[in-house]
Amino acid sequence: MKEYFEKGLEKIGMFFDEDKIEKSLKYLKLLKEYNSHTNITAIREDKDIVEKHFIDSLLLQSLLRKEDREIIDIGTGAGFPGMPLAIFNLDKNFTLVDSIQKKTKFLELVKDELKLENVKILCGRAEELIEGKRETYDVGLCRGVSNLSVILEYEMPFIKVGGRFLPQKLVGTTETLAAEKALKVLNSRIVKQHEFILPYSNEKRLVIEIIKDKKVDKKYPRKTGIPLKKPL
Ligand code: SAH
């Protein structure tokens, strides 16, 4: 698997060293072990985990900037995209959020085993964790959680003015059209859409780059469940 992972990283133009590969493979092993008794991800084959979880997460690397220090990943599940990025960016702090305890318990295990001091794990819903964390992150991440208008309401309140939200979507999504009102209400705008290609399956991926221009009204995110039930 080591060679498969390294080749994949080379194909997406990603720099790596032995330590990062070793930590990633340890994470892969822990994920498979944990998933064998507690279901936390549907992707089970080594090659699929490497490409669809690890490399897919690392596609974001080229969009991160040196000055980005605090990064939040909401609805990280088994740690994607936040955990692989934390392994490859020890100089940035990653806050990984998920509302399901069996997932955050696994993330704590990975953090301990890999000795990742730049990772913080929070169990809870974005709507409730916002307390005390408004406008504190340079970058927000989110993959596979919900429609763009819903995740915009989860994420934008956490992000600093001038900071960016980089949600991962599939190419061809029409969610940007439906999110026009949410963008406006949350003082944000799409600056660019970046297309990527996965190295083995050649599947296309999209990262939307969204910038926050002004503070977000404190009434957002609305109460737990409302952003999903009644999207902006
Ligand atoms: N990002 C991961 C997991 C996607 S599954 C990946 O791409 O593989 C979506 C996850 O989002 C679930 O684990 C769910 O518990 C979490 N989630 C959904 N709504 C949430 C909310 N409002 N706050 C925090 N976590 C949420």
What is the residue with the minimal CA distance to atom 4 of ligand 1? 144
169 touches ligand 1 (CB under 6 Å): no
* 102 Cα–ligand 1 center, Å: 12
CA distances 216 to 12, 75, 80, 183, 187, Å, are 35, 21, 26, 11, 6
Strands 204-212 and 188-197, by their bridges, are antiparallel
126 touches ligand 1 (CB under 6 Å): yes
The one-letter amino acid at 161: V
88 touches ligand 1 (CB under 6 Å): no
What is the residue with the minimal CA distance to atom 3 of ligand 1? 77
Q: Tell me the pLDDT tens digit for each residue of 151-184.
A: 999 999 999 999 999 999 999 999 999 999 999 9
> Quick one: which atom of ligand 1 is closest to the CA of 142?
1
Strand partners, 167: 142
Q: Please give the chain's pLDDT, 232 residues, in tens.
A: 999 999 999 999 999 999 999 999 999 999 999 999 998 988 889 999 999 999 999 999 999 999 999 999 999 999 999 999 999 999 999 999 999 999 999 999 999 999 999 999 999 999 999 999 999 999 999 999 999 999 999 999 999 999 999 999 999 999 999 999 999 999 999 999 999 999 999 999 999 999 999 999 999 999 999 999 999 9
